[in-house]
Structure 1
Amino acid sequence: MNPDIQAYNNALSSEDAAIGNLLAQEIDKHLPEAENKIWHAHPVWFLDGNPVAGYSKLKNCMRLLFWSGQSFDEPALQNEGTFKAAEMRYTDVAQVNAEELKRWLEKARDIQWDYKNLIKRKGKLERLK
């Protein structure tokens, strides 16, 4: 695991760290080609410089975010923000469904909107895949 992401997880409560460690391991396992780093203070995975998945600590949960998740056609994911992102929130590591997460990560690879060039395109998203 990326040492910066491990440090992020180590700074969490034990419950949240367990969720973060599991999410990081699963994302690394299913997106081995993805670059990962702390971006805007949270762990994020990128494919060709485009953010596809990440997680963060919210007040009462851990949030798993897929930048293009609204296009996944997955009812369990909730829309987030004004672009194409969708999220799942966890309060216990037992809530993380490995098969569901694997499917979402496959879709994160196959369905992407171009966040990398969002500013250059003056806030207009274009579909990459």
Structure 2
Amino acid sequence: MDVGIRAYNNSQQEIDQKICATLARIIDQELSEAESKIWHAHPVWFLEGNPIVGYSKQKKGLRLMFWSGADFEEEGLNVLGAKFKDASVFYQSAGEIDENDLKRWLKKSIEIQWDYKNIVKRKGKLERLK
């Protein structure tokens, strides 16, 4: 696990540490080719420089976000971004994480990608990669 992500996880309250540890373990297993690091103060996994999945502590709980998740057509990812193609789910405990759902979403995150890597160069316009 990336040392920055480990430090982020360890800085959370105990209940959130468990959520972070579970998410990081599964994401690392399923996205073994991904680069992981702290990006904009939160753990994020990238494929070929494109952000795929990440999580952050928010008021509602621990938010797991998929950058291209709006196109996954998954009921469990019910918090859709207003401007881009992201979708999220919030967790209040590690027990809420359905490992099968998460693995399915991670598989879709490889298969369905919008080009966030070049969004600034394209002046906010997203293009589909996969």
Q: TM class by shorter-chain length?
A: over 0.9
Q: How many residues align?
A: 129
Q: Match of 2:34?
A: 34
Q: Match of 1:125?
A: 126
Q: Which runs of 5+ in 2 are unaligned?
A: none
Percentage of identical aligned residues:
55
Equivalences for 1:1-129 in 2 at 5 Å?
1-78=1-78, 79-129=80-130
1:61 and 1:83 map into 2 onto residues whose CA distance is: 21
2:81 and 2:7 map into 1 onto residues whose CA distance is: 26
1:57 and 1:81 map into 2 onto residues whose CA distance is: 19
User: Normalised by the size of structure 2, how large is the TM-score?
Assistant: 0.97
Equivalent residue letter for 1:36: S
2:93 and 2:81 map into 1 onto residues whose CA distance is: 21
Equivalent residue letter for 1:87: S
Q: Which runs of 5+ in 1 are unaligned?
A: none
1:128 aligned counterpart, secondary structure: coil
User: Normalised by the size of structure 1, how large is the TM-score?
Assistant: 0.98
Aligned-residue RMSD, C-alpha? 0.7
Q: CA deviation at 1:10?
A: 0.4
- Moved runs in structure 1, 4+ residues, more than 2 A? none
2:109 and 2:57 map into 1 onto residues whose CA distance is: 21
